[in-house]
Amino acid sequence: MNRNLKLLIVDDSAFIRKILTNIFSADEDFIKIDTAQNGKSALELVAKNDYDVITLDVEMPILNGIETLKKIMEMKKTPVVMLSSLTTEGADITLDALEYGAVDFIAKPQNIFTVQGERLANEIKDKVKAVARVNVMSYMRHQNATLDRITSNEVETKKQTPFQKTASGDIVKKIIAIGTSTGGPRALHEVIPSIKGNINAPVLIVQHMPKGFTKSLAERLDSFSSLSVKEAEDGELLKNGVAYVAPGGLQMKITSVDKDKFKINLENSAPVNGHKPSVDAMMESVSQSKVDEVVAVIMTGMGGDGANGLAKLKDVKRAVTIAEDESTCVVFGMPKVAIQTGKVDKVLPLREISREINKIMGV
């Protein structure tokens, strides 16, 4: 439990600063709340104070969120949560911020008055508290090591089409299913580019993100990977050697259309475990399909989404189940709950997950 937290709120909107201040001041765990209206003022406060966590607006005058973040990481490696607009540009900048050291982000709703709703206010508080526990020095070491590996493998991961990578095309006998949340973009940047492009299976990815952000994430992963990575589309057939990222705001499920052929169904249905997309929704649909073998992976994230789906896959399929080890998790929530089901075969640090997947797939 976090206690005695010191928070800095950085946003050029006085209205947003007031709303966030009201949200956090109602929680006794926060004993100090400072605010800044731009990056320059924020850096002055960071120089004088030791904060446990900072919320940082992406778009600000004088000094924008990215430049402010870089300087914070140089001065004092403090856990940072970015506040981002729900736009394509906002998504791209936010993913840049995650690469520069921000731990997570909060998407500003289009109707800002909804921020005052109890459910969303609790989500914001929970996320900021979780991020406050992160050891940023360790996080940045893992992040930099990941980026170094991606750069060193650049020649090896030159793009090929799925048809060059596998002779079996859309004849699918195995599926890899991956779920993650807080800290997930970094984890996916470690795992996905290290999966061999010639694997004889498609990869289904659920990352808790809003609409728009998942497309940007898929494009980034694709640029680093020998797998083809794309945001999933409704009705498309699964193909080996392709990774499908569930679109934000929709549930991604699969159904069998023929022997060894499967299609993606995107549903605008209710959230599962408070999430849309949900890892459980995706994995449970895989458990109900006719696929023979599954590799199910739960990585860093808050809460317990994915644990039930993973357990069900273990019960009804020939499944190898993997959870990320606490030592490399940004938030050891989802993997912990999955492990507690007793259905996890292997608990592995992040760098070993892709090796295990390649080994299971025989590549």
Q: Please pick, among 41, 84, 181, 225, the residue that the annotation labels catalytic.
A: 181
Give the pLDDT band of residue 161 (cuts 50, 70, 90).
very low
pLDDT tens-digit series, residues 247-265: 999 999 999 998 899 999 9
Look at residue 163 in the predicted model and tell me its pLDDT. Answer: 35
Q: Is the pTM of this model over 0.85?
A: yes
Q: Please pick, among 57, 104, 142, 208, the residue that the annotation labels catalytic.
A: 208
DSSP code of residue 10: E
User: Is residue 234 annotated as part of the catalytic site, yes or no?
Assistant: no
Decide: 221 and 193 in contact? Cβ < 8 Å.
yes
Give the pLDDT band of residue 346 (cuts 50, 70, 90).
very high
Select the highest-mean-pLDDT range: 82-86, 163-167, 280-284.
280-284
Helices (DSSP H) in 3-161: which residue ranges?
A: 14-25, 39-48, 65-75, 88-99, 118-132, 136-152
User: Is residue 194 annotated as part of the catalytic site, yes or no?
Assistant: no
pLDDT tens-digit series, residues 168-182: 488 999 999 999 999
Higher pLDDT, 255 or 120: 255
Q: Please pick, among 92, 104, 305, 325, the residue that the annotation labels catalytic.
A: 305
CA 341/CA 332 separation, integer angstroms: 15
For residue 144, give the H/E element and its range.
helix 136-152
User: Is residue 29 annotated as part of the catalytic site, yes or no?
Assistant: no
CA 48/CA 350 separation, integer angstroms: 36
CA 143/CA 229 separation, integer angstroms: 21
Does residue 330 surpass a pLDDT of 70? yes
Q: Label residue 301 left, alpha or beta by phi (over 0 means left) and psi (-120 to 50 means alpha).
A: left
Token readout for 208 is 């808790």
Does residue 165 surpass a pLDDT of 60? no
The amino acid sitting at 307 is: A
CA atoms within 13 A on the CB side of 90: 21
CA 170/CA 200 separation, integer angstroms: 10
Higher pLDDT, 19 or 2: 19
For residue 287, give the H/E element and its range.
helix 279-287
CA 238/CA 169 separation, integer angstroms: 9
Mean pLDDT of the chain: 90
Decide: 355 and 194 in contact? Cβ < 8 Å.
yes
Decide: 39 and 106 in contact? Cβ < 8 Å.
no
Q: Domains for the chain: give ranges and CATH numbers.
A: 5-137 (3.40.50.2300), 166-361 (3.40.50.180)
